Structure 1
Amino acid sequence: MAAVTSAATPAPPLSGSHGHRPRIARFGWLFGGVWLFFLIEPAQTALAHESLALRVYGVVTLLAFSAWYLLIFTFVRSTSFRLWEDEVRRGWIAIGVLLALAALTVPACRGESLATLVYIAAAAMMVLPARHAFTLTGVFVVVVLVLDAFPETESGASLVFSMIVAALAVWGIRQMIARNIELLAAQQTIAQLAVAEERARTARDLHDILGHSLTVITVKAELAGRLITVDPERAGREVADLERLSREALADVRRTVSGYRPVTLAGELAGARAALDAADIDAELPTALDEVPGERRELFGWVVREGVTNVVRHAAARRCVVTVTRDRVEVADDGRGPTDEGMGNGLTGLRERVEAAGGALTVGRSPLGGFLLRVTLTGVK
């Protein structure tokens, strides 16, 4: 018997989605079918019989064996070796049918029918759990070595080698495909996390921007409403300011969506003064920012924005003090003080920013008797 080489192993599936497979993938069964060439010697043995019935029988059984092998290969290949990974019973049924068809070739092909064991070992690696497939291959090896003691069979060692190589090759392909599937799943997870992170960033930024801008707009609108009969000229200025703030808020939203929206500490302090003045709250703000490192000013700007917005919106305060040092920023007021409601979306988003920078955010009661927001970056370079 001529050695059946490891070429009986199938080629790995082509890449591409199941819904849009490349044109070459439609002929993938050919990659498995071409190696059936090594069944030509059992076919020659069958055709050498004097009986026409036996010759026809041998060819038909070999064709049936080949067709079932190709059917297994095609189905498994189309599902990236995952068709029956959780359905062991179906896998054993497929292998059982293949074994039965191989047994039917024995009357016509005699000892040459042992060549079918190579294909059965390869198919077992396709549809069975690795432990079951290796056990079955081991049984085949023992059977071939036992039969090799009889003169009717020859080249048992080469057949054993072919079975082992075929089984290991298909097992290797399964492992490679499994790793590729895991890699694709990891890439999809990373992409989903990136989308979620971008959504969280946009939601956080929109809250911070619109929360501050709309608070100032609301305060100025109320002020303009009170002044419209008392001081129409000042009321007109407030209305003009409302238009400017609305345009700035719209521009901020657009920059947030596009991902390009600079925030500066100096700009936020200027905005804080305008918001506090409009709300008739005494403001004590720093005038010099020289000692604050440049890389910290954007984060400190976010702290000032969120802290002052909360003072104007919730505190009912008459005084607000903003303190900025090299590694700390505080916003304190003399209003209602902390409540038991916990942090809102704004402070939650600010905490995420601070923790991402390696700092700490704390809230509590201020020395003025109201609310205190403190962010510290001590030890952060």
Structure 2
Amino acid sequence: MPESHPLYIGMDLGTFKTSVASSAGYRDVIPTAVGWPKDHIARTMLGRDVVFGQDLTEHRLALDIIRPFEKGMLKYGDPATCGLSEKQMEKYALATRLIIEYAVHLVHPEPQDTARPIYGVIGVPARASVKNKQFILEAAGHVFDAVAVVSEPFSIAYGMNRLTDALVVDIGAGTIDICPIYGVYPADEEQITIGLGGDAVDEEFEKRLKAKYPRVQISRNMVREIKEKFGFVNAVGEQALVNLPVDGKPTPHDVTEPLKAACQVLVGPIVEAIRKLIARFDPEFQEKLRQNIILGGGGSQLKGLDRVIEQALTEYGGAKVTRVTDATYAGAVGALKLAKAMPPQGWTALNTRKGKSRSNTGEAKQAA
């Protein structure tokens, strides 16, 4: 490993958003997506070949946008079962690499300094396969000198210094990951990944909303924004009133019922997975796990989710559920903390970065 002072980076490579933090004191969050101009007019208007960040939303009509981990693809699912052709797989791999490079660029104090080694810890779903992890390592190899791939919920627990007697439930857009914490790094078989998350809620909400209000015009971005602002699972005290266009005219709609029903699709699978995972452990340890359940990820912010899970576990001896204070950065901050403390044998050295630029637009142009 290089002896000069490295830059340490922690990254939560999420399905919908990627958060990143560096030892230089910078942190940022971006959509986990890449956009390519649809034609030469769009390229002229945008003035670039690849688009990241908030510009993806502002200029989405002029872009071909790829979310490489949509519904957990490539981070958890097998490429073959995801229905990707070889050509699509190549483009998704390039998109992943460009997202990682751009995220690192945002938190590097001197992005043009290619001599300084960069070590990174990247979070992946709890039950990601060897193939999934290798896909991430290959994408990271163009910007990192060494990488450690860890379970996303474990990085949350590490950042909170909850290293024993805890159960972390990380609710992302594509997967829900559940990880027991008991003083050592948990084995893969001790963790659970559910192929369900915020994307599934969005789909269910849109389906129910259109069934109730057939004339409503709504995009997936609008659906997501409503969910993030009003999303809830508890029984009382919530109401979601929004203006939605009907034949181009903004019209008030009560979306409380379809929104609640959509958000509740997460509750049953989470409770069942928690119950099954806890049952695997020694009876004396089960009580400690139930009394220290931590919700992380964007889905943890659904109103009432902590209380609903507690109520569902009453018959199993009760539970205490808390939410992370900063759902956006909890994973990245924990990964950074882990990177700073990582022993030399914990890193996977990568050789692909040597002699390469951190901004390779040539491949991006060819992929467009």
Asked if these proteins are the same fold (TM beyond 0.5), I'd say no
Give the helix-richer structure, 1 or 2: 1
Q: Which has the larger radius of gyration?
A: 1
Point out which structure has higher relative CO (alpha carbons under 8 A, 6+ apart). Answer: 2
Q: TM-score, structure 1 length as denominator? A: 0.24
